[in-house]
Amino acid sequence: MSSFPVFDPASPQAEAIRDLFVQVLWISGGIFSIVAGLICVALFKFRSKGKLPAQDFGSHRKEIAWIVAPVIVVLWIAAISAKLVLTFNAVPQAHPPGEQVADLIVTGHQWWWEIEYAGTDIVSANEIHIPTGKRLRVQLSSADVIHSFWVARLARKMDAIPGRENFIWLQADEPGVYQGRCAEFCGTQHAWMNFLVHAHDPEEYEQWLSKEKVVPPTPVEPNAVAGRKTFLSLTCSQCHAIAGTGARRSIAPDLTHLASRSELAAGVLSNTPENLRLWLKNPAAYKPGCKMPDFKLTDQQLDDLVAYLETLK
Ligand code: CUA
């Protein structure tokens, strides 16, 4: 991943944003050089005491030039920015209520992202899978405070606001993994509200989609069986949903295919059985302030839960 993702666009939209940024940077850089240069000239030319430049206060010609030139620059920047915003505006046309208008429905939570794939039952967290070469409309909102959805290499930044639907286009030209961030301060763990966009070739994407539609089978291995029971009998299932079980509440990340994700807790830990165990043992040790409590699970319960959750591929 590039250390300057803004300069490494991977979609037409991100490329247009980069071009706009570079253009504005050149304009501002030019103005800065002229102003700083003139200050330097004045400093050197008039550095001896008593030497003053010609005083021409009240020159209408110069005043008009000083007004007109910046106005032209500002209008130009406004025009090229507005053109870009309008070109990539993803707001859907007026539509009957209830009609599906987005491909992906993303909801910001403190501090994770919920992703629903329109037209399917697939719900996931913090990892978005998309096919390459296709422009997808993303609907954004929030369950609590204002967040901001940003995948620097693929699309513009957009606020996720409670009670409001915002839309953006998300597109990737090439297969790959793209880093996403929450770009608006939203509480203590704002910095750990990362997500990944996995872009696949269309065929590979279809495979992923059909795999994701399959409900993971009930485990048979004794530890995993015990873990499933623990999950359903403790309060885990009051917050987390897992398809194929009675756990349907979804105020915390859906865990149906947890084991197939690459990260835990919105990017805090890589998803390994060891890390999953550490996370379950005391979430606040890794993400202070996070809403998942420390349940003081016994070592046996931890082992069982990890065994069960690892079956959720
Ligand atoms: Cu969510 Cu910052």
Can you give the pLDDT of all 313 residues of the chain as single tens digits?
457 888 899 999 999 999 999 999 999 999 999 999 999 998 888 887 777 777 878 888 889 999 999 999 999 999 999 999 999 988 887 777 777 789 999 999 999 999 999 888 899 999 999 999 999 999 999 999 999 999 999 999 999 999 999 999 999 999 999 999 999 999 999 999 999 999 999 999 999 999 998 888 888 999 999 999 999 988 888 899 998 887 777 789 999 999 899 999 999 999 999 999 999 999 999 999 898 988 889 999 999 999 999 999 8
Q: Identify the H or E element spanning 70.
A: helix 60-87
Q: Is 17 in the pocket of ligand 1 (CB under 6 A)?
A: no
Nearest CA to ligand 1 atom 1: 147
Rounded to the nearest angstrom, the distance between the alpha carbon of 304 and the centre of ligand 1 is: 32
Q: Is 190 in the pocket of ligand 1 (CB under 6 A)?
A: yes
CB count within 10 Å of CB 279 equals: 20
pLDDT at 119: 87
Q: Are 113 and 186 in contact (CB under 8 A)?
A: no
Q: Is 185 in the pocket of ligand 1 (CB under 6 A)?
A: yes
pLDDT at 97: 74
pLDDT at 47: 82
Q: Structure pTM?
A: 0.87
Rounded to the nearest angstrom, the distance between the alpha carbon of 109 and the centre of ligand 1 is: 8
Q: Identify the H or E element spanning 108.
A: strand 104-109
Nearest to 115 by CA among 10, 196, 235, 200: 196
Rounded to the nearest angstrom, the distance between the alpha carbon of 289 and the centre of ligand 1 is: 13
Q: Is 181 in the pocket of ligand 1 (CB under 6 A)?
A: no
CB-count exposure of residue 35 (10 Å: 0-12, 13-18, 19+): exposed
CA 284 to CA 274: how far, in whole Å? 16
Rounded to the nearest angstrom, the distance between the alpha carbon of 143 and the centre of ligand 1 is: 12
pLDDT at 94: 76
Rounded to the nearest angstrom, the distance between the alpha carbon of 122 and the centre of ligand 1 is: 23
Q: Is 106 in the pocket of ligand 1 (CB under 6 A)?
A: no
CA 36 to CA 231: how far, in whole Å? 65
CA 168 to CA 269: how far, in whole Å? 28
pLDDT at 1: 47
Q: Is 180 in the pocket of ligand 1 (CB under 6 A)?
A: no
Rounded to the nearest angstrom, the distance between the alpha carbon of 27 and the centre of ligand 1 is: 32
CB count within 10 Å of CB 209 equals: 15
pLDDT at 2: 53
Q: Is 160 in the pocket of ligand 1 (CB under 6 A)?
A: no
